[in-house]
Amino acid sequence: MGAGLLGTSLHGHLWSVSGALIPVGAIAALVLLGAVQLFVGLWSRNAWVVVMCGGATYLCAGLLSIPRGGFGMISANVQGNVWLYGIAVVTPLVAWWTSVLVRAKK
């Protein structure tokens, strides 16, 4: 849940380089999420904990994207889309990486 809240506050930062928009905040939020998931997965020695952590993060981000009043906290722009869809990409990758590292340790 903490990664979801911190990632949501971080995802809105955007760099404009020569007219190209780079969602650095969303990328940083996904790196934060991956680091937290890897830590939790290695600490518990279970890749399913990574999946549950990603699910909780996705649930938190999904609830924060629901418009309350005029707008939601996560809007449907480049940064918001990278953050929301990135959670669904990072979680299985980190779960796989955790399972590989846990198996190699045994």
Over residues 22-80, the pLDDT tens digits come to 888 889 989 999 999 999 999 999 999 999 999 988 888 888 778 777 666 677 788 88
Distance (Å, whole) CA 86 – CA 105: 28
* Whether pLDDT at 87 is above 80: yes
Distance (Å, whole) CA 35 – CA 19: 31
Residue pair 15/24 in contact (Cβ under 8 Å)? The answer is yes
Classify each residue of 2-18 as buried b or exposed e, where b means 16 or more C-beta atoms within 10 Å of its C-beta: ebbebbbebbbeeeeee
Give the pLDDT score at 4.
Answer: 67
Expressed as residue numbers, the domain containing 36 is: 2-105
Number of domains in the chain: 1
Residue pair 8/60 in contact (Cβ under 8 Å)? The answer is yes
pLDDT band at 102 (very low <50, low <70, confident <90, very high): very high
